[in-house]
Amino acid sequence: MAESLKTEIDLSQYPHINKGLAGIVAFSSNKSFIDGEKGELIYAGYDIDTLAENASFEEVCFLLWNNRLPNQTELDDLNTKLQNSRELPQPVLNYIQNTSKNAEPMAVLRTAVSMLGDFHKVEADDTEEFRINKAITITAKIPTIIAAFDRSRSGKDIIEPLNEKSTAFNFLYMLNGEEPGEEAEKTMDLCLILHAEHGMNASTFTNRAICSTESDMYSSVTGAIGALKGPLHGGANQQVMNMLLDIDEKDADPVEYIHQRLDAKEKVMGFGHRVYKTMDPRARILRGMSKQLSEETGHTDLYEWSEAILETMKSEKDIDPNVDFFSATVYYSMGIKPDLYTCIFTMSRVSGWTGHYIEQAENNRLVRPRALYIGEKNKEWVPAEQR
Ligand SMILES: CC(=O)SCCNC(=O)CCNC(=O)[C@H](O)C(C)(C)COP(=O)(O)OP(=O)(O)OC[C@H]1O[C@@H](n2cnc3c(N)ncnc32)[C@H](O)[C@@H]1OP(=O)(O)O
Ligand SMILES: O=C([O-])CC(=O)C(=O)O
């Protein structure tokens, strides 16, 4: 009988074993640069602070799809295309209205985006223009899906998208049933800019891996949504809000609450990052927004607790907040339900994913790493009835 062996592993066959692919450079990209030591973020050449101050989300989309900013005619053209692509095919609307009212919004979004692929002509994605048009279509329809599901599950009429105005304006209009003010539109637009792109994060990696098999853009965005949904990635913003609401409900002291979590070896959502070793520059911007909005809307307690949590995490663990920490209170101050926060992240990040898809498709190689086999070998077959 052959001997079962578990320990004889030839490590020379696996030169780059790295759990979580930490530090592995798998692609080259023009989309973004992160300096994790300094806390810097650049989208296709432009510092995040410059974009936050000057750009619109639509300009950022153009930048991520073309690696350059649009001129006015190109921007007007993109805006028109996005505005004219917002409506959903009727079967997708039917699905949104008929699915469980208790479904997770991110799960509904994932399924609806997958369904959208059934209504786009299946052609070879062989030109950049074709791919950009597909990116426009998907980006334009995601806000409609989110707002339609939220209204439908709340027993409210679904509001048809406008074929004018910005992505931020139209989303808030479809969600709330009334036109947003200038400040609300600006805040949402800024949130979309800040979440658009972030290097080889887990969802972008997933999206590029799917693209690398020469699969279509709907499949890669669907897969990326699945990856973003997890609480270690984009799903953390919702968990941050749940934590703050839990503190409120229990009338707990936020510092004590965090100590208890850390003592129990639990992670505190919205903190830590694989790349940043200092404050995430997006968290820095969102922190200011959170302060201002919480004062304007009478939620200063939530902001103050956030600051107390930040100080505790810094002094106890030397861990800084990431993008998901202060975005939670920003959305809460805007009256948005916590389980929509990761959907709003998706609304923005789809621009980065599709930009990466276009880049990957233009210079593709199948993504296919290896796994170190640590199981047994040479096991003897035993028929089922004898096991
Ligand atoms: C948009 C985004 O995706 S941003 C990230 C959103 N995710 C979160 O906020 C979830 C909470 N954070 C985390 O889980 C992690 O910091 C991650 C997943 C973001 C990064 O993970 P990794 O780079 O793999 O770091 P890892 O999880 O190994 O953490 C390293 C150490 O810091 C600790 N640590 C990291 N983040 C946290 C946290 N949020 N709370 C408490 N401890 C933490 C870990 O326990 C670990 O400690 P140890 O070495 O004593 O075991
Ligand atoms: O870069 C990451 O790993 C996660 C992140 O902050 C993002 O995707 O925005």
Judge contact between 143 and 83, C-beta under 8 A. no
Task: Answer whether residue 377 is part of any domain.
Answer: no
Residue after which a domain boundary falls, among 333, 351, 371? 333
CA distance 61 to 227: 21
Sign of CA dihedral 282, 287, 293, 297: positive
Q: Return the pLDDT at 225.
A: 99
User: Is 324 noted as a catalytic residue in this protein?
Assistant: yes
Task: Report yes or no on 375 lying in a domain.
Answer: no
Distance from residue 273's CA to the centre of ligand 1 (Å) = 6
ipTM: 0.98
Q: Which of 57, 110, 64, 80 is nearest to 358 (CA)?
A: 64
**Distance between Cα 363 and ligand 1 center (Å):** 33
Strand partners, 271: 321
99 with 192, same domain: the answer is: yes
Lookup: tokens for 70: 């649009």
Tell me which amino acid residue 94 is.
N
The pLDDT value recorded for residue 9 is 67
- Residue 40 gets the label, from left (phi > 0), alpha (psi -120 to 50) or beta, of beta
Q: Which amino acid is at 212?
A: S
290 and 169 fall within a common domain: no
**pLDDT tens digit at each of 387 positions of the chain:** 455 555 566 767 766 678 899 999 999 999 999 999 999 999 999 999 999 999 999 999 999 999 999 999 999 999 999 999 999 999 999 999 999 999 999 999 999 999 999 998 656 557 888 899 999 999 999 999 999 999 999 999 999 999 999 999 999 999 999 999 999 999 999 999 999 999 999 999 999 999 999 999 999 999 999 999 999 999 999 999 999 999 999 999 999 999 999 999 999 999 999 999 999 999 999 999 999 999 999 989 999 999 999 999 999 999 999 999 999 999 999 999 999 999 999 999 999 999 999 999 999 999 999 888 889 999 999 999 999
Specify the number of domains making up the chain: 2
Residue 321 maps to a domain: yes
Sheet holding 46-47, edge to edge: 32-35, 40-43, 46-47
Please answer whether residues 202 and 227 qualify as being in contact, where contact means their C-beta atoms are separated by less than 8 angstroms.
yes
Residue 270: CB within 6 Å of ligand 1?
Answer: yes
What CATH number is given to the structural domain containing 59? Answer: 1.10.580.10
Residues 6+ away with beta carbon under 8 Å from 165: 83, 173
Please list the residues that pair with 34 across neighbouring strands: 41
Same domain, residue pair 136 and 261: no
pTM of the complete model: 0.96
What is d(CA 249, CA 246) in angstroms, rounded to the nearest whole number? 5
CA of 383 to the centre of ligand 1 (A): 45
Answer yes or no: do 184 and 249 share one domain.
no
Residue 373 lies in a domain: no
Expressed as residue numbers, the domain containing 272 is: 236-333
| H/E stretch holding 303 | helix 300-317
**Number of other residues whose CB lies within 10 A of the CB of residue 174:** 21
Angle formed by the axes of helices 281-297 and 182-194, nearest 10°: 160
Question: Does residue 20 line the site of ligand 1, with CB under 6 A?
Answer: yes
Residues 106 and 340: their CA atoms lie apart, in Å, by 8
Asked about 120 being catalytic, the answer comes back as no
Query: Which ligand gives the minimal distance to the CA of 204?
Result: 2
Same domain, 110 and 247: no
From first CA to last CA, the distance across the chain in angstroms is: 17
* Whether the CB of 320 sits within 6 Å of ligand 1: no
Distance CA 292, CA 337 (A): 19
- CA 293, CA 239: separation in Å to the nearest integer? 20
Looking at the fold, whether 255 and 349 belong to one and the same domain comes out as no
Q: Are residues 70 and 177 in the same domain?
A: yes
Determine which residue's CA is closest to atom 42 belonging to ligand 1. Answer: 267
Spatial distance between the Cα atoms of 384 and 387, rounded to a whole number of angstroms:
5
In a domain, 20, yes or no: no
Angle CA(70)–CA(76)–CA(80) in degrees, nearest 5? Answer: 125
> In this structure, is residue 368 part of a structural domain?
no
